[in-house]
Amino acid sequence: MSGHSGRDMSRALQVDDSEAPLLLCRLQSGRALVEALTSLQAAASPCSDLVLVVVPRNRNGLRFVIQEFGYFQACVTLPRELFTAFECRTSGESAEETAFQVPRTELLTSLRLLISSVGQAEKSALFAPLRLLYRSRASPLQLLLQSDSTSYLECEVQTLADVPIYDFGFLQVPVYNDAVISGRLLATCFAELEYAGARSALITMMPYPRQGLRLEAVGDATGAHLTIEVPHSTAEDDSAIEPSTFLEFESIQEQCVSYSVHLLKRCLKALQSADIVRIRMNANDVLHLTARMPLSPGLGSKHSSSRGAHAVLEAALAVVEGASYSSESCFFEFLVAPAVVNNAQSDSSVAAHGGLPAY
């Protein structure tokens, strides 16, 4: 990490137009990125310390992706609404051309170091602007935090280009079940699965007249049987004692699919911080969770109120009636393949090369 001031600072904050960087964006505060990456780290495998930084084709934000080929993918998106500036250049239509990989721990450590350093010098660290600059393929990712009007701190993190992005093709087949539920409630259900000591759990989503969500697990060693029922009651259901726990629930046909408890637990930290979660299951039995996590107050862009809704929010909240769009949230997405996938299914339900998951 290095520090600069005066005229050195003005030169560093400027980007020569002739350089045409692949990515240049500014956040109102670096803390938004720290909060998002901290939750994403809990979903990562201890065997890998790499995170993929991706700008989607529609330029609707900045994504940080952890991918494990064929069975698990975790992603956090900082919507474009959070940025005070967002510029991206690509030389083609392929999403891979705006993707690069960085060491996850090194990136998070650098961010925390920058934030804490500014915090020691000035109490307004919460609002210290952060710039991210990626000049060209395989160049370092530059992090620059402005501490005051005359000085700034800078870190560089080495990157790796030409990294493939795996695609589960989630929307390439029909989605049979789609619901929106409280994040804390779903997190509580997932946490309970651990007590049974099971390696896998059955998740069932059912259509009318028994609409709802059921989770079942049987301990491999203890034989303990755990069943959690989360019913969905409609306004026409006279037997409903309490309001429905689901904001929306749509089921075309019943699905009962086994998933790894270990992978479900890796979604917990994000779910515990989320206010709402969209849960979907497609015809290939792939589980897709989209969680909205509110950020600490004051981390959103001051210009966001004048901007329109964007695709990231629409993907997360499209089925929530009357949902309002906010720049004070980031979005987590998890794709979990079934616990048992036979060879005939693997070509269609397991990831393949060729772009981001179709959310």
Q: Which backbone phi and psi does 83 adopt, to 5 degrees? A: -95, 140
Q: How far apart (Å, rounded) are the C-alpha atoms in residues 295 and 310?
A: 18
Q: How far apart (Å, rounded) are the C-alpha atoms in residues 143 and 131?
A: 6
Q: What pLDDT does 88 receive?
A: 85
Q: What would the DSSP string read from start to end of 299-345?
A: -S-TTGGGSPP-HHHHHHHTTSTTPPP-SSEEEEEEEE--S---HHH
Q: What pLDDT does 56 receive?
A: 76
Q: How far apart (Å, rounded) are the C-alpha atoms in residues 126 and 29?
A: 6
Q: Where are the beta strands (DSSP E) in 80-195?
A: 83-88, 99-103, 130-134, 141-148, 151-157, 166-167, 175-182
Domain at 167-353: CATH architecture: Box (3.70)
Structure tokens at 130: 């952060």
Q: How far apart (Å, rounded) are the C-alpha atoms in residues 126 and 124?
A: 5
Helical spans, DSSP H, in the chain: 6-13, 31-41, 104-121, 183-192, 261-265, 268-273, 311-317, 343-349
| 3-class SS of residue 80 | helix
Name residue 53's amino acid: V
The pTM of this model reads 0.79
- From first to last of its 359 residues, what are the pLDDT tens digits of the chain? 554 544 444 444 455 555 678 899 998 878 788 888 888 888 988 887 888 888 877 777 888 999 887 789 999 988 888 899 998 876 555 544 568 899 988 998 888 888 776 654 444 444 578 899 999 888 999 998 877 767 778 899 999 877 777 778 899 999 999 999 999 999 999 998 877 778 899 999 999 888 899 999 987 766 778 899 998 876 555 444 445 578 899 999 999 999 999 999 999 989 998 999 999 999 999 999 999 988 765 555 443 333 333 343 444 444 333 333 455 788 999 999 999 743 333 333 333 333 333 33
Q: How far apart (Å, rounded) are the C-alpha atoms in residues 158 and 41?
A: 19
Q: How far apart (Å, rounded) are the C-alpha atoms in residues 313 and 310?
A: 6
| 3-class SS of residue 188 | helix
Spans of all domains in the chain? 167-353
Q: How far apart (Å, rounded) are the C-alpha atoms in residues 351 and 66?
A: 13
